[in-house]
Amino acid sequence: MRRRLAAGNWKMHGLATDLTEADALARAHPAPTVEVLLCPPATLISRMADVLARTPLSVGGQDCHAAASGAHTGDTSAAMLVDAGATHVILGHSERRADHGETSAQVAAKTAAAHDAGLVAVVCLGETEVERDAGQTLAVVSEQLRQSLPGSATAGNTVIAYEPVWAIGTGRTPTLEQIAEVHDHLRSLLPDHEMRLLYGGSVKPANAAEIFAITNVDGALVGGASLKAADFGEIIAALEAADGGTS
Ligand code: 13P
């Protein structure tokens, strides 16, 4: 059985004062029946790990360098994330692919580095609106999957997140049929049947339940709605309900 995962990506949001949201989330969900992960900006990883110590909630980074160490000003190694208290790292997010020109080959190298350091990598992929309109969605995500996963990827150390670029931060989501189509396709390509496959892109309390009811959706990677404990808590509860657990 694949353990369902609710992952929050705070992106470049959050100061120390916002750790109250992580604390509130942990207090409201002391024993979630699904896995819960929060990925704050690098500056907050250590302090969030302190806040969430002795809770079942995990902390992750949003990127790491492919090298173990070296002259890479401004970058963070996978071992540094571990040192700060992270157990996971988001890699290949479309915002990094767009803002920093990250290629799938670089994402694979970063993912291998994350594995070497003992991190679980949440590897992101997804088509642009132009690619979807051109009927290229399945071809694009297949190729991204093939190129972004290193040989070290297993169900234990890797989670895939399908995030259509045009659905991120826009309030627009694919139809349930479109999500199902991509997830069914990706699942058929995954190297391990136990590898988890998340959906991401404008997941909110209002649409979480219907998205989590889709076969082959093992959870969500949530941006904006993960910043507030109340909203993310509702999404966690929807995932627990879909899982047959209690909230
Ligand atoms: P939103 O949930 O804000 O659309 O962001 C999705 C995302 O990019 C998560 O990584």
Q: What's the CA gap between 26 and 122, in Å, rounded? A: 21
Q: What is the pLDDT of residue 245?
A: 54
Q: What's the CA gap between 85 and 103, in Å, rounded? A: 27
Confidence of residue 134 (pLDDT cuts 50, 70, 90): very high
- Is residue 247 over pLDDT 70? no
Which atom of ligand 1 lies nearest, measured to the CA of 90?
10
The domain in which residue 16 lies consists of: 5-243
Residue 54 sits in a domain of what CATH number?
3.20.20.70
- Per-residue pLDDT of 193-214, as tens digits, reads 999 999 999 999 999 999 999 9
pLDDT, mean of residues 151-164: 97
Q: Is 100 a catalytic residue?
A: no
Does the Cβ of 202 fall within 6 Å of ligand 1?
Answer: yes
- Per-residue pLDDT of 14-54, as tens digits, reads 999 999 999 999 999 999 999 999 999 999 999 999 999 99
Give the percent of the chain with pLDDT over 90.
97
Does the Cβ of 163 fall within 6 Å of ligand 1?
Answer: yes
Confidence of residue 246 (pLDDT cuts 50, 70, 90): very low
Contact 121, 111 (CB under 8 A): yes
Instruction: Give the burial class of 47: count Cβ atoms within 10 A of its Cβ; 0-12 exposed, 13-18 middle, 19 or more buried.
Output: middle
**Which pTM does this prediction carry?**
0.97
CA distances (Å), origin 58, targets 50, 128, 197: 11, 30, 18
Total of domains in the chain: 1
